[in-house]
Amino acid sequence: MRPGIKSVSTNKEDRSFMELNPQLIVGACGRLSSWAADVESVSIRYERVLMYLMRHKGRVLALMTEEETYPGDDNRMISETRRSLVALMAWPRQPGH
């Protein structure tokens, strides 16, 4: 869905999936929140893609990366992705920092 970045699916499929499905996935997982507390994030491993969904200010941030980027290492992908998203969410930085 970003110019110059090749996707494993068509732009139409990407857009169609991302419009609603991340909210539905996190919402479905949240059905246990009364027992397990709020959902912070969800990770999904496809054969060719890793997807990471994270709640932020009432929205769901979604990131997908090709499996080759983190071959078989979901924990590293999740850790690095979460760290990057947290840094991006802190943007813009306060002047002088």
**Of 24, 25, 26, the residue nearest 55 (C-alpha):** 26
Q: Give the model's confidence band at 94: pLDDT under 50 very low, under 70 low, under 90 confident, else very high.
A: low
Residue type, position 58, single letter: G
Domain segments of the chain: what residues? 11-89
Question: pLDDT (tens digit, 9 = 90+) per residue, 42-93?
Answer: 888 888 888 888 887 788 888 877 767 767 777 777 788 778 777 777 766 5
3-state secondary structure 30-51: HHHHHHHCCCCEEEEECCCEEE
